[in-house]
Amino acid sequence: MKNLGLALLSVLFFLSCEAPDTNKVDSNSKTVETPAKEFYQLKVYTFSNKEQVGITDDFLKQIYLPALKAQGIKNIGVFKSIPNEKDSTDKTYVLIPYNSWNQVLETEDKMNTLSDEVLQNSAYHTASHEAPPYDRIETTLMRAFDDMPIMATPEINSPRAQRIYELRSYESSNENYYKRKVDMFNAGGEVKLFDRLGFNAVFYADVISGAKMPNLVYMTTFQDRPTRDSLWKEFVAAPEWKAIVDLPKYVHTVSHADVLLLYPTEYSDY
């Protein structure tokens, strides 16, 4: 473990030397501004046993997240799925915000340059083909909505195991209906209604590459399950929702919805 710590320090120094400076000045001597819209990467690790979960957790906590942060990437969320009757499979969700599409590509390149000295001390990378550290990784790339272009990190004081991070995916039957659903969130006022009721949204985003397109994804947060259930009842009864839910242009805009209830790991940033 000591060797892993020393090796990790060396790679973090290497990555931090090449990390983009969000306050640097461009060729015209103008300060680089906050991005107009963030990009998000959601990585979902699927496991078939607890040993895989532990190995991947160690890798994410000790190597992956520190290496991302050395590049100036902040507010990385790591969540576990709450088992239910329909799906009891262990999964870990990693949500990473980026300032630009270029930063997504640059980060992937840099993560591939992690030193062998670090990786050889990681059970994640030395696992054999007969005992892989996970079953599969599914990655979704997204771009933030107009009405919430930058991620928020809600301050919740309840114990992490009690918190509810609700991740929703709304699919549409085609691009035409999808555009209307996105409009319902922005111009239609859904985002504003969520904000008024205190849903503590983390992000709302268009999926630009994923397995369920066309679809949008968003995440809201709650102190606990009773708070979540109560706020959804308020949402359905809200006059703003009643004013838009039956408008012809918004009817049939969702063909399928996935609702996932998650809780944050102890090493998640929020």
Contact (Cβ atoms closer than 8 angstroms) between residue 56 and residue 63: no
Q: Give, for all 270 residues of the chain, the pLDDT tens digit.
A: 444 443 444 434 334 334 334 433 343 444 445 668 999 999 999 999 999 999 999 999 999 999 999 999 999 999 999 877 677 789 999 999 999 999 999 998 888 877 666 777 799 999 999 999 999 999 999 999 999 999 999 989 999 999 999 999 999 999 999 999 999 999 999 999 999 999 999 999 999 999 999 999 999 999 999 999 999 999 999 999 999 999 999 999 999 999 999 999 999 999
**CATH number corresponding to 2-13+35-142:** 3.30.70.100
From CA 203, how far away is CA 201, in angstroms rounded?
Answer: 6
Q: What counts of helices (H) and strands (E) characterise the chain?
A: 10, 8
Q: How far is CA 264 from CA 82, 161, 221, in A?
A: 10, 7, 10
**145-264 topology per CATH:** Alpha-Beta Plaits (3.30.70)
Contact (Cβ atoms closer than 8 angstroms) between residue 78 and residue 266: no
Contact (Cβ atoms closer than 8 angstroms) between residue 217 and residue 205: yes
Residue ranges covered by each domain of the chain: 2-13+35-142, 145-264
